[in-house]
Chains A and B, each alone.
Chain A
Amino acid sequence: MENVKVVHYLNQFFGQMGGEDKAGIPPQIKEGPVGVGQLIESESRGRFKVIHTIICGDNYAAEHLEEVESTILKWVLESRPDLFLAGPAFAAGRYGIACGTMCKAVQQKLGIPALTAMHPSNPGVDAARKEIYILEAGDSTRDMRRVIPKMVSLSQKILDKVPIGLPQEEGYFPRGIRINIRAEKRGSKRAVEMLLKKLRGEPFETELPLPEFDRVVPAPPIPDLSNAIIALVTEGGIVPKGNPDRIEAHNASKYCEYFIGDVNDLTEESYQTAHGGYDPVYANEDPDRVLPLDAARLLEKEGLFAKLCDDYYVTVGNVTAVASATRYGHEIGERLLKEGIQGVILTST
C-alpha cells in the first residue's frame, strides 16, 4: 500500500477564504490539505497525502472556466499527484460545474485519475459523468461524513486497479458504459417475466432505464378565454423568407420574435422553415402547417379568444441542447407574462 499523493480542488467557501463575497477570487494553490482535505486524509487512514489544495472562487471559475482549467492543469502537472479530487460540491451548481470540468480535464489531458461527488440536481453531473466517476452526494454538507469515505474507497479501487462495481453498487452516476455480462436466463425469458410482474402489479427492475426529466406543476388555466390574449410559439423553425436572423438548422443558438400583427396568413412567398430536422417541403408550401396563424386569425375573428399576440416566437428544435431550450422557454415565458399574455400555443415538429 503505497502512499497516494493528492491534489484537491475546493471553492472559496470550503477553501476557508470566505463566502459569496469572495466568489470572485482567481485560483490559488496552497501547500497541504485544507478543511475537507484533512478529512480525506484521515478517512484514508493516512494513505492519502493532500500535497496541494487549489482554491478558486465560484464566480471566477464559472466565468473563466477555460482559463482556470489551463492554470490548474499547469499546477497539477508540476505537482505530479497520483490522484485529483474535487469537492464534494453537493448541490452548488457553479462549484459542481468547476469540479466536473477540472476532474475531466485532469484525467483526460494528464492521465491522472480524477473523481468528485455532488447531488443529482447539480449541472456538474452532466458536465462530466460520462468521462469520470462522480459519486452521488446529498444536497448539503450534512452528507459530508457519508460521502468522503465513498470518495476515498472508490479512489483506492481505481488506483489499485480493483474492478469497479456497477453504478448502484458503488454509488456513482451511470456513465453510459455498457458491459457484456452473462445472464442466467436469456432475454426473451427475462422480458416475459418482467411483463408478468408488471401485469401482476409487482415490483420489477428495468434493464434499460430511460432518462428522467423533471416535472413542472401545471400552470393555472385561463379563467375567461374570450378576454385572453394568446401567443403562438414554435420549435418548428418558421421564419420570414430568407431567415433574416439566421437561426441555425440544428442546435439553434437563439430564438427570435417576429411581428405578425398585420399578417393573416403565412405564405410560401413570405415565410419558410429554417429547421434542418424534417422534410421542409410541406412547411415551405404552407408555413401555417407548422405555425397555425391563418386558423388562429379565424378563431380570433370568431371571438373564441380576445386577441392574438402581435409577435410570435420561434426557434429550431433540432438536436438543440436541453439547456438552451430550457433558457429559451424560460425567457419567452417571462417576456409573454410581462406583456400580459394569458396562454401559449406551442407547436413542435
Chain B
Amino acid sequence: MVKEIERVGLPAVQICAIVPIALTVGANRIVRAVAIPHPTGDPKLEKEEEIELRKKLLRTALIGLSSGIQEQTVFKSEDLPGGKK
C-alpha cells in the first residue's frame, strides 16, 4: 500500500516491525516499529513514557517524509536532531 501511495507522488513512510519485508515489497521510506502487535506502543512502559516513544517514532517518520531520497531508506531515531547522544 505504501508503495502505491508513493507511486501517485505522495511521500509515505511505513512504520513496521519487520523491516526486511518492507524492503522486499518495495517501501521507500521505512521506520522500524516496536513490535508487530503494537507498532507504535510498548505495553511494558508507563503511559507517559509510551506517548514519548510514539512521538519519537512519529518525529522520525516526519524526518523520512521531509528527506529527499534516491533509494529505499530506513530512518532511525538517531536521525533526529539531537538524537545522537
B78 at the interface (CB under 8 A from A): no
Within 8 A of A (CB), among B26-76: 26, 28-29, 33, 36-43, 50-51, 54-55, 57-59, 61-62, 65-72
Chain B positions within 8 Å of A343 at CB level: 10-13, 62, 65-66
Selected contact of A282 from candidates B28, B43, B57, CB within 8 Å: B43
CA distance A298 to B22 in the complex (A): 27
Instruction: Report whether A222 and B11 are in contact in the complex, using a CB–CB cutoff of 8 Å.
Output: yes
Contact with A along B1-29 (1 / 0, CB 8 A): 11111111111111111000010111011
A149 at the interface (CB under 8 A from B): no
Instruction: Report whether B38 and A290 are in contact in the complex, using a CB–CB cutoff of 8 Å.
Output: yes
CB B68 to nearest CB in A, in angstroms, measures: 5
Selected contact of B57 from candidates A230, A292, A332, CB within 8 Å: A292
Instruction: Report whether B40 and A218 are in contact in the complex, using a CB–CB cutoff of 8 Å.
Output: no
Chain A interfacial positions (CB closer than 8 Å to B): 210, 213-216, 218-223, 225, 228, 230, 233, 235-236, 278-283, 285-286, 288-292, 294-296, 298-299, 304-305, 315, 317, 325-330, 332-334, 336-337, 341-349
Chain A positions within 8 Å of B24 at CB level: 210, 213
CB A215 to nearest CB in B, in angstroms, measures: 5
CA distance A299 to B36 in the complex (A): 24
In this complex, the member of B26, B28, B39 whose beta carbon has the largest number of chain A beta carbons within 10 angstroms is B39
CA distance A304 to B66 in the complex (A): 12
Instruction: Report whether A236 and B55 are in contact in the complex, using a CB–CB cutoff of 8 Å.
Output: no
How many residues of B are counted as interface, with CB atoms below 8 angstroms from the partner's CB atoms? Answer: 49
Chain A positions within 8 Å of B70 at CB level: 218
CA distance A35 to B36 in the complex (A): 55
CA distance A337 to B6 in the complex (A): 10
Chain B positions within 8 Å of A328 at CB level: 1, 4
Contact flag A295-B55 (CB < 8 Å), given A219-B9, A329-B4, A346-B13: yes
Chain A residue, CB-CB nearest to B24: A213
CA distance A334 to B1 in the complex (A): 12
Q: What are 18 A-to-B residue pairs whose CB atoms are below 8 Å?
A: A210-B24, A219-B11, A222-B66, A230-B62, A230-B65, A285-B43, A288-B40, A289-B39, A289-B43, A292-B41, A294-B54, A295-B54, A299-B55, A329-B4, A330-B5, A343-B62, A348-B2, A349-B36
CB B25 to nearest CB in A, in angstroms, measures: 5
Which 8 A-B pairs have CB atoms at the shortest separation, nearest pair first?
A289-B41, A329-B4, A329-B1, A295-B54, A333-B8, A333-B5, A344-B12, A343-B65
Instruction: Report whether A337 and B8 are in contact in the complex, using a CB–CB cutoff of 8 Å.
Output: yes
Instruction: Report whether A325 and B1 are in contact in the complex, using a CB–CB cutoff of 8 Å.
Output: yes
Instruction: Report whether A298 and B51 are in contact in the complex, using a CB–CB cutoff of 8 Å.
Output: yes
Chain B residue, CB-CB nearest to A273: B37
Selected contact of A278 from candidates B10, B12, B36, B43, CB within 8 Å: B36
Instruction: Report whether B26 and A299 are in contact in the complex, using a CB–CB cutoff of 8 Å.
Output: no
CA distance A24 to B33 in the complex (A): 49
CA distance A291 to B72 in the complex (A): 23
Selected contact of A295 from candidates B6, B58, B67, B69, CB within 8 Å: B58
Instruction: Report whether B37 and A233 are in contact in the complex, using a CB–CB cutoff of 8 Å.
Output: no
Instruction: Report whether B10 and A346 are in contact in the complex, using a CB–CB cutoff of 8 Å.
Output: no
CA distance A286 to B53 in the complex (A): 14
Contact flag A282-B37 (CB < 8 Å), given A220-B68, A222-B11: yes
CB A281 to nearest CB in B, in angstroms, measures: 8
Chain A residue, CB-CB nearest to B70: A218
Instruction: Report whether A225 and B62 are in contact in the complex, using a CB–CB cutoff of 8 Å.
Output: yes
Contact flag A330-B39 (CB < 8 Å), given A222-B65, A295-B58, A298-B55: no
CA distance A230 to B10 in the complex (A): 10
CB A233 to nearest CB in B, in angstroms, measures: 7
Instruction: Report whether A332 and B5 are in contact in the complex, using a CB–CB cutoff of 8 Å.
Output: yes
Chain A positions within 8 Å of B69 at CB level: 218, 221
Instruction: Report whether B16 and A348 are in contact in the complex, using a CB–CB cutoff of 8 Å.
Output: yes
CA distance A279 to B42 in the complex (A): 14
CA distance A279 to B39 in the complex (A): 12
Chain A residue, CB-CB nearest to B28: A218
